Structure 1
Amino acid sequence: MLIFEHCSYLNHNPITIVIGKDASRTFQPLFHFHPGIEIIFVHNGEGSVIFEHGAYEVKPGTLLFIKPFQPHYLQMRISSGTPYVRSLLKYEKGYFTEYLKAFPDLQKFHDHLCSDSDVVQVQQVPEHERLVKFMVESNERLLLHPTHTQMEGRALLLASVLHYLYPLWRKDGAAKQPAVTKAPAVSGVMKWIEENYDKEFELDVLAQAVHLSPNHVSQLFRKVTGKTIIEWLTERRMKQACILLKTTTRSVQEIGEKSGWPNFNYFCYIFKKRMGMTPKQYRYH
């Protein structure tokens, strides 16, 4: 089930930075999305991450950039000998953008990461020990400052990390983490849903697009992702509805139609079932 993480703490703490934490005990593999941006750097641990467009390997040195309202599912194979150690930078986009106004090139780069559909979101950082040292030392200096100035310090640290990583994205994806699924058709299904979620769904049409039988593509998709095609489609539509409710003044009925639910009553029913509140309540929550 898709879970919406409200991240209400970002209202009073718009930038959260945790460097080099062992998250083995608290980590939960949830399929979820949230309004804040996340940058995750994996110090130690192995697993995979699933976005709308594919599944990718995660290992030491992997960097994830997770966009606002983007459904994602991170799975880590945690054991006593293989803990999950990560750095997490989580922040509210609008707040941080104000700090970037003094750095127009960096602001343009950040906008590219947040909005471009073809941006590389999973990177394998070369010589990642240098990035670890940089983040650890920067965080140690930040903690030496008075508490009332630390939010400004976090913004500067976050900007510095982005500036450090900027060259990765300028190599035209040279460091891109390859998709791990051994079934290219699964990525094809994800791409097809991304392009057609707002239309009436027909399994036969999807199966034809990826050159498989309806039964085969359904079984293969569930085996790789752990979810049915209908669940994946519903979650993509739900993401779109949440974005439109929060960022536009369109009517709830129009938002349902734009998200793939022309039946208004059914849209309200499925939204409340998934999100725990009506579309109107969510808009003003």
Structure 2
Amino acid sequence: MKFIENIDLYSNNFLFTFRAQRKHPGQFHAHKGMEFIYIYKGTGHIMLDHRMYELRSGTLIIFQPYQLHRIHQDDSAEYIRSYVVFEPSLFESYLASFPSLRSFFYHLWKDQLQNQIFYDIGPDHPLVHLYEELQERKHLVPDHKLTEEYGLFIMRFLCLLRLLWAKHENPDAPSVRSLSQVERMMAWLEEHYNEPFSIDELSKHVHLSPKHISAIFRQKTGGTLTDYLMAIRLNQACLLLKTSSKPVTEIGQEIGFTNTSYFCQFFKKKMAVTPYQYRKQFLELV
């Protein structure tokens, strides 16, 4: 299971997929870039920041870089979506002359967001039309000019999203509801990921037997408690390798690995490179 998707953003630092239909295995994962995804058809649920949300047709989702999430599609339903994934730091220059829009972009990129999922966005919404227009432009514009097209897409998308955002800012947002049992488990794991895992301590926290919580978690998420815990640790490792100069040994210990050798083996198995190579690759992009 790969927790951090090593999405190829190509030379334009931008990936665009239009009306994809192939289903993918629902697993906890994160992207290196920011993602805007629109669901034309689909049913299921979304797990994001230890919360569970409904997935249905007409859903728009904003994922931040390295934000752990999982989309589970119902087996019997179609799943059609368009999405863009991009490296935000390489497109912020397009917003230099628009301070208000740039501030909104930074908010999406770096702040703790109250709401990232928008429902009932019909196929005729201007935001959805932008995906269709980009698909048409992609086949008309020479490859060496695509970066500009992608930058314009992001600016137009942000302008329309900001209007949508303002309409959905209200005190009844989903984040105020109480946590379900599985969400409480995920929240506990996110709080204690850097400690030796104790299913007994978790069971005390949610007031269920160890056997029961394992069964409930798998039933509701499709994965195991260990899957989620290791996904959190790997996600944190990637962030620390990118944003700090801490030694690899210290990073491993900080995220819950007492053995540096095992940490490096685990990281390479999931990321296809060692922690040292991962940091070197990132520094070469800066």
TM-score, normalisation: structure 2 = 0.84
Query: Partner residue of 2:4?
Result: 4
Change (3 A) 1:158 1:176: farther
**Any idea what SS the aligned residue of 2:125 has?**
helix
2:233 matches 1:234: no
Query: Partner residue of 1:45?
Result: 42
Task: Please list every run of 5 or more consecutive structure 2 residues that lacks an aligned counterpart in the other structure.
Answer: 282-286
Matches of 2:172 and 2:92, distance apart in 1: 26
Query: Partner residue of 1:252?
Result: 248
Matches of 1:186 and 1:262, distance apart in 2: 27
Query: Partner residue of 1:15?
Result: 14
Give the AA of the match of 2:14.
Answer: I
2:106 matches 1:105: no
Retained in 1: the 8 A contact 2:3–2:231? no
2:161 matches 1:162: no
Matches of 1:88 and 1:145, distance apart in 2: 20
2:61 matches 1:77: no
Query: Partner residue of 2:206?
Result: 210
Matches of 1:4 and 1:128, distance apart in 2: 30
Matches of 1:262 and 1:174, distance apart in 2: 43
2:265 matches 1:274: no
C-alpha RMSD of matched pairs (Å): 2.9
Give per-residue Cα distances to partners, 1:191-220, cap 9 Å, x unaligned.
Answer: 112222122322222222223232222221
Retained in 1: the 8 A contact 2:182–2:217? yes
Give the AA of the match of 2:198.
Answer: E
Offset, 1:184: 0.7
Matches of 1:78 and 1:213, distance apart in 2: 30
Offset, 1:128: 5.3
Offset, 1:38: 1.1
Change (3 A) 1:169 1:262: farther
**Any idea what SS the aligned residue of 1:284 has?**
helix
TM-score, normalisation: structure 1 = 0.84
Change (3 A) 1:30 1:214: closer
Matches of 1:177 and 1:127, distance apart in 2: 20
Retained in 2: the 8 A contact 1:3–1:30? no
Retained in 2: the 8 A contact 1:16–1:90? yes
2:16 matches 1:33: no
Give the AA of the match of 2:196.
Answer: E
Give per-residue Cα distances to partners, 1:54-101, cap 9 Å, x unaligned.
Answer: 22221111011112122332232366xx53322212111111112122
Offset, 1:156: 1.3
2:62 matches 1:65: yes
Give the AA of the match of 2:190.
Answer: E
**Any idea what SS the aligned residue of 1:227 has?**
coil
Query: Partner residue of 2:284?
Result: none
Task: Please list every run of 5 or more consecutive structure 1 residues that lacks an aligned counterpart in the other structure.
Answer: none
Give the AA of the match of 1:70.
Answer: Q
Change (3 A) 1:178 1:128: farther
**Any idea what SS the aligned residue of 2:101 has?**
helix
Offset, 1:141: 7.1
Retained in 2: the 8 A contact 1:18–1:89? yes
Residue-pair matches, total: 278
